[in-house]
Amino acid sequence: EGFSSVKCFLSLYRFQACVYFASVFQAMSCGIHYLASVFMAVTPNFVCGFPGNVSSVLYHNSSASRIEDIWTLWTSPENYIVVQLENGEIWELDQCSRSKREASLDLAYEYKGNKSVFPCSDGFLYDDTKWKSTVVTQWDLVCDREWLAKLIQPTFMLGVLIGAVIFGDIADRLGRQRVIWFTSAGQFVFGIAVAFTFDYYSFVIVRFLLAMVSSGYLVVAFVYVTEFVGIKARTWASMHVHAFFAMGIMIVALVGFLVRTWWVYQIFLSIATLPFVLCCWMLPETPFWLLSEERYEDAQKVIDTMARWNKVSTPCKVSELCSVQQDDLASGRMGDDDTSSAKKHNILDLFCNWQIARRTITVWLIWFTGSLGYYVFSLSSVSLGGNEYLNLFLIGAVELPCYIIACVAMDKLGRRNTLIPFLILSALICVLIMFIPQDFNILIILANMAGKFSIGVAFGLIYLYTAELYPTIVRSLAVGTGSMMCRVGSVVAPFCVYLRSVWIFMPLLLVGIMALLSGILTIMLPETLGKPLTNTLEEATEMGRNKKSWSEKTPPAHSGAALEKIEMFGQERVSTDK
């Protein structure tokens, strides 16, 4: 009877569906802010400014009366522009310096005489044919200040890392509802505030705060929806939180195409999810968290509301749910030693023996590789040639079928048997792209979409696979440390993309090597499809040593149905973050 009452509670799907779609809608804003910098921090073509009014401009064999007419002919930053001022002076304008020709009266592109070199004290001239204004042109983040522009995305990702840790902990202490309220409002407020920052440093600081609340929302929203949906729908529901994140990337491409001034672009991106901010206060607290805090009356009110929405005449009673939890916890303690169950676990338990240590290293590498590949493919999409807005839109759109295939494959083929081929496939695609001629833009874009698709499957799958590879006593720790490696990968990814200046294929080479290594090491991981969750490190070790015998074993009483019921009560929180 107790277990049927739990199923009764989890079968109220109409209410859960409304809560789910309301919550994941705001996940789009996370995708928006994570990738907003690809257009907001664009560095257009530029040259040094000149002291005076120009009368004529020369670029190779082409001449014009305005420097704006030359930008369409600009082919390489190594070239320079020759300008003649109204006072007769002739200047050569490079990107980071300018030269005044001495004793030259004829306007010619080639000049072998004496020149005086000057710094760019009169500022810079930017190509505004694509973007009227970016943060780079706003604060001259070029030449000796170029490194400041390259820190914009890494500092944002550092905020993502810190925000996930802080708000994940706060959500456990104060509740999911309050954190969702705060982070939703924070995304809107800080998103708008970014557009009105007065210098580079205030811009970075506000973006850092925006990253913290965006990351905090994504982590807590994942926990929030998994505590409301039933076990049968949990895999699909959690995977498709990422799909809404991908829709946010598509919105970035669309708004970037329509709005070419960075601060207006930022405002439009920030108000895209304003409807959720206005109504998020209606979202209830999860009954699981209320039960864990022994707020039984509040939990009963939420359950009664769910029953009314779903037109259930006999709603579940908190007393019945609590009795199931207490019975299962008691039965779990009967099979375990009291001292071992009371032991506090730390990160060293993830390296307690060779089997578990090897598993941990492999899982961490997959988390890191998945995040690295995800952001390298995304951030590089605007540099592939062709229409950069369409490129980013397609890179986001390809994720939508990716998660559907991942859900189907992981339930039909298994977690490991899905992860291995897609990791190796992403490595092969990275190699393939290197051999495609640079003139074949369409083929390059399609190959990058295929790479994003394959790494996206692996990236989405690793969340659930990690939770199944580790026993109950360290499961949250395993997923938490893996998620930290994921965020380290997201911090490293922008620097990896900058290596294109060293060699255009360097980012792909690094991602390919990491994906191939991860795929090979994944072969040594055990398959978890259809197997009971382990409860102790000994059981987890045995699963890795003898896969066949483990699958034929009868699961311990506290690792089977009872553990599943305890999991329903939110005893274990699996967090996730892009």
Tell me the average pLDDT across 96-116: 81
The pLDDT of residue 250 is 93
User: What is the CA angle 513-518-521, rounded to 5?
Assistant: 125
**For residue 294, which phi and psi values (nearest 5 degrees)?**
60, 30
The pLDDT of residue 171 is 79
Check the CA dihedral 421-422-423-427 and report its sign: positive
Q: What is the DSSP letter of 261?
A: B
Q: How far apart are CA 371 and CA 40, in angstroms?
A: 22
Q: What is the pTM of this model?
A: 0.82
What CA–CA distances, in Å, run from 198 to 144, 201, 204? 21, 9, 11
Between 563 and 176, name the one with better pLDDT. Answer: 176
Tell me the average pLDDT across 341-361: 77
Check the CA dihedral 255-256-261-267 and report its sign: positive
437 burial (CB, 10 Å; 0-12 / 13-18 / 19+) is exposed
Check pLDDT > 90 for residue 192.
Answer: yes
Q: Which helix or strand (DSSP H or E) is residue 497 part of? A: helix 475-498
The pLDDT of residue 572 is 38
The pLDDT of residue 545 is 65
Residue type, 136: V
Ramachandran assignment for 380, one of left (phi > 0), alpha (psi -120 to 50 degrees), beta (any other): alpha
Between 198 and 67, name the one with better pLDDT. Answer: 198
The pLDDT of residue 178 is 87
* Low-confidence winner among 379-383, 390-394, 548-552 (lowest mean pLDDT): 548-552
What CA–CA distances, in Å, run from 429 to 67, 435, 445, 454, 526? 42, 10, 12, 9, 26
The pLDDT of residue 135 is 95
Q: How far apart are CA 231 and CA 17, in angstroms?
A: 14
Alpha helices, DSSP H, located in 259-317: 262-270, 274-279, 287-292, 296-309
The pLDDT of residue 481 is 81
442 burial (CB, 10 Å; 0-12 / 13-18 / 19+) is exposed
* Low-confidence winner among 74-88, 125-139, 321-335, 412-426 (lowest mean pLDDT): 321-335
* Low-confidence winner among 301-310, 400-409, 441-450 (lowest mean pLDDT): 301-310
Q: What's the pLDDT tens digit per position in 62-81?
A: 778 788 788 888 777 777 88
Tell me the average pLDDT across 449-465: 87
The pLDDT of residue 478 is 79
**51 token code pair:** 């002291």
User: Is the CB of residue 270 less than 8 Å from the CB of residue 184?
Assistant: no
Give the model's confidence band at 578: pLDDT under 50 very low, under 70 low, under 90 confident, else very high: low
Please give the share of the chain, as a percent, with pLDDT higher than 90.
Answer: 28
Q: What is the DSSP letter of 313?
A: S
Q: How far apart are CA 528 and CA 537, in angstroms?
A: 15
The pLDDT of residue 566 is 37
Between 420 and 242, name the one with better pLDDT. Answer: 420
Q: How far apart are CA 65 and CA 373, in angstroms?
A: 46
Between 273 and 162, name the one with better pLDDT. Answer: 162
Q: How far apart are CA 34 and CA 253, in angstroms?
A: 13
Q: How far apart are CA 497 and CA 375, in angstroms?
A: 9
Check pLDDT > 70 for residue 82.
Answer: yes
Q: What's the pLDDT tens digit per position in 252-303?
A: 999 999 999 999 999 999 988 788 787 777 888 887 778 777 777 877 887 7
Count the Cβ atoms, other than its own, within 10 Å of residue 103: 6
Give the model's confidence band at 522: pLDDT under 50 very low, under 70 low, under 90 confident, else very high: very high
Between 3.10.20.70, 1.10.8.60, 1.20.1250.20, 2.40.30.10, what CATH number should domain 349-543 receive? 1.20.1250.20
Between 3.10.180.10, 1.20.1250.20, 3.40.50.2300, 3.40.50.460, what CATH number should domain 14-44+133-283 receive? 1.20.1250.20
Q: What's the pLDDT tens digit per position in 469-480?
A: 888 677 767 777
Give the model's confidence band at 155: pLDDT under 50 very low, under 70 low, under 90 confident, else very high: very high
CA neighbor of 566 nearest in space, from 341, 285, 414, 240: 341
- What 3-state DSSP class applies to 350? helix
Q: How far apart are CA 294 and CA 170, in angstroms?
A: 18
Alpha-carbon Rg for the chain, nearest whole angstrom, is 28
The pLDDT of residue 492 is 92
The pLDDT of residue 476 is 64
Give the model's confidence band at 307: pLDDT under 50 very low, under 70 low, under 90 confident, else very high: confident
The pLDDT of residue 321 is 58
Q: What is the dihedral of CA 403, 408, 413, 419, to 10 degrees?
A: 0
The pLDDT of residue 553 is 47
Count the Cβ atoms, other than its own, within 10 Å of residue 93: 22
- 3-state percent breakdown (helix, strand, coil) of the chain, nearest 5: 70, 5, 25
Q: How far apart are CA 346 and CA 377, in angstroms?
A: 34
Chain Cα centroid distance, residue 439 = 30
Q: What's the pLDDT tens digit per position in 202-232?
A: 999 999 999 999 988 888 887 787 777 766 6
Q: How far apart are CA 450 and CA 414, in angstroms?
A: 22
Check pLDDT > 60 for residue 329.
Answer: no
Give the model's confidence band at 59: pLDDT under 50 very low, under 70 low, under 90 confident, else very high: confident
User: Is the CB of residue 563 less than 8 Å from the CB of residue 472?
Assistant: yes
Tell me the average pLDDT across 347-351: 80
All CATH 1.20.1250.20 domain ranges of the chain, comma separated, are 14-44+133-283, 349-543
149 burial (CB, 10 Å; 0-12 / 13-18 / 19+) is buried
Check pLDDT > 70 for residue 189.
Answer: yes
Give the model's confidence band at 554: pLDDT under 50 very low, under 70 low, under 90 confident, else very high: very low
Give the model's confidence band at 516: pLDDT under 50 very low, under 70 low, under 90 confident, else very high: very high
User: Longest Cα pair distance anywhere in the chain, in angstroms?
Assistant: 99
Between 110 and 363, name the one with better pLDDT. Answer: 363
CA neighbor of 562 nearest in space, from 533, 530, 541, 527: 533
Residue type, 393: F
Chain Cα centroid distance, residue 191 = 17
DSSP bridge pairs for 63: 58
Check pLDDT > 70 for residue 402.
Answer: yes
Q: Which helix or strand (DSSP H or E) is residue 458 part of? A: helix 441-469
Q: How far apart are CA 198 and CA 203, in angstroms?
A: 7
Q: What's the pLDDT tens digit per position in 356-389?
A: 888 899 999 999 999 999 999 998 888 887 788 9
